[in-house]
Amino acid sequence: MSENDFYTPTDLDILRMENELLAFEVRFLKARGGSASSSGSSVSLSRLTNLEEAENDLVLLLRRLGKSPLGPMLRLGGGFREMERRYLSPDGGHASLPPAEQVAYLERAERDLVRLLGLLGRGPLGTALRRRPSFRTLEQRYL
């Protein structure tokens, strides 16, 4: 059989699978009593899942941008370097935070994603990026 006879998932399919797995993990942790919402925070399970999906989308976007030809140019601005440090460093992530701080971390990740998408969507770069279905999907979801 040729290579074209097999289904290969797109980036969007992979992202959806990761998000479904993440949602399942959150439900599992909530059932065990280990999620941030069971420790005094009033964040609903669906909101927590959406925040974790936003963080996951931000991490994927930062990795992709960092590896692109735009990476060195984006790093000239301190904001992109700071986001890379915060979300891509080995010691980063919300899993190592106390439950009370996890929601604040995830909300900040969502705000950073919205800000980054807004910056990328401006001018001629935004026009070029909108040709990609994955970028359009992120814009529709968060902007």
Cα–Cα distance between 40 and 100 in angstroms, integer? Answer: 8
Range of 9's domain?
3-142
Give the per-residue pLDDT at 27: 80
Query: What contacts 115, CB < 8 A, 6 or more positions away?
Result: none
What tens-digit pLDDT sequence spans the chain (143 residues)?
A: 566 677 778 888 888 888 888 888 888 877 776 544 444 456 787 888 899 999 999 999 999 999 999 899 989 988 999 999 999 988 767 777 787 788 899 999 999 999 999 999 998 989 999 999 999 999 999 98
Q: What is the DSSP letter of 94?
A: S
pLDDT digits (tens, 9 = 90+) for 3-21: 667 777 888 888 888 888 8
DSSP string, 42-83: ---HHHHHHHHHHHHHHHHHHHHHHHSTTHHHHTTSHHHHHH
Q: Is the dihedral of CA 103, 53, 83, 138 positive or negative?
A: negative
With a CB cutoff of 8 Å and minimum separation 6, the contacts of 87 are 55, 58, 59, 62, 93, 109, 112
Number of domains into which the chain is organized:
1
Distance CA 124, CA 36 (A): 41
Look up residue 19 and give its two tokens: 């998000």
CB 85 within 8 A of CB 92: yes
